[in-house]
Amino acid sequence: MFDGDYYELLEVERTADDKTIKSSYRRLAMQCHPDRNPGCKDSEAKFKAISEAYDCLKDPQKRAAYDRYGKAAFQNGGPGAGAQGFEGFSDIFENIFGEFMGGGGGRGGAQQSRRGADLRYDIEITLEDAFAGKQETIRIDVAAPCEPCQGSGAKPGTAARTCPTCRGHGKVRAQQGFFVVERTCPSCHGAGQVVAEPCEACRGEGRIEKEKSLDVRIPPGVDEGTRIRLTGEGEAGARGAPPGDLYIFVHMARHALFQREGTTLFARCPVSITTAALGGSITVPGLDKTAHEIRIPAGIQSGKQLRQRGAGMPVLNGRGTGDLVVQVEVETPTKLTARQKELLEEFRELETGEQSPETSGFFAKLKGMWGGE
């Protein structure tokens, strides 16, 4: 085990985020990789040390234990031994009572406890993509099974053997007062097997960092925050343990015309004062590439909403579609010709108040407040 400080070794601050730590590790690993420095013992030693440091700091639980207790967190009996021995209260409960509840403690449990980490990928799509669905190719950096050793961690031509300390269970028992407590085996770290001759490509981990391309199907009807799970596409487990999952979180780009609430689409549409007064129709292009004709009733007011059934978003993993709701905004003309002004003046002279009942009623109430007749 490396004796120095992991943060200093990776040339990062103790407050560095995961991305910074990973970037620094890759840079240093490339500099001192044994393949780039054949025969150099110092480079080989530093490569192993930075790999050890990164293996600790990339894991949130290990990093928290290291920040609090240092390397004592990973030494059997140290103040932070529990950080490595147990993964959480649920594991403690399972470890103590597992045999009695049928949970067992064999190799299956050891492998499952070393399951690869789940990964998250955020993707932004357009409203049109959410309407029709989309096939997207994404690229992620992930810990994948090592090809030379086929994920075993053992040098090609050799094989891992059953751990003599825990006899392949991945856990050891210790008497603590009246209780018998199970902890992760300190020799194999829960794998149930030990590797005498580690694979040079993965340093015995059974996995290496690589870029992977995945084809992802975005189904019609997805919305902001929709989560798509790709089983087994997360990080590979150590030494042949099951892989984690990949979770894709969908985010929606802002649309120029439509706003969305569930399966309902909303659009604000301006109409001329003459169309609002006399009635008519407007055409709204839908996401289904259909021109939807919206009838405007005569005398419509600003803010009135008109609904077009079935012209909204599709139901996710279901049948049917929502509605399109158009909110009318009556636009007052700003550039009038002399003739248009003349006609409006004539109209004003002919107004009796019945043409604008809300306006007449409002000012009638004001007169009442002022004591007018």
Binding residues for Zn(2+), as ranges, are: 146, 149, 163, 166, 185, 188, 199, 202
Q: Residues within the annotated binding site? A: 146, 149, 163, 166, 185, 188, 199, 202
Coil vs helix vs strand at 321: strand
Burial degree of 241 (CB within 10 A; 0-12, 13-18, 19+): buried
CA contacts within 13 A on the Cβ side of 265: 29
How far is Cα 242 from Cα 142, in angstroms, rounded to an integer?
Answer: 14
How far is Cα 211 from Cα 135, in angstroms, rounded to an integer?
Answer: 19
Report which secondary-structure segment, H or E, holds 93: helix 89-101
* Residue 309: count of CB within 10 angstroms of its CB: 9
How far is Cα 201 from Cα 205, in angstroms, rounded to an integer?
Answer: 9
User: Which strands sit side by side in the sheet containing 227-230, from one edge to the other?
Assistant: 119-125, 246-252, 227-230
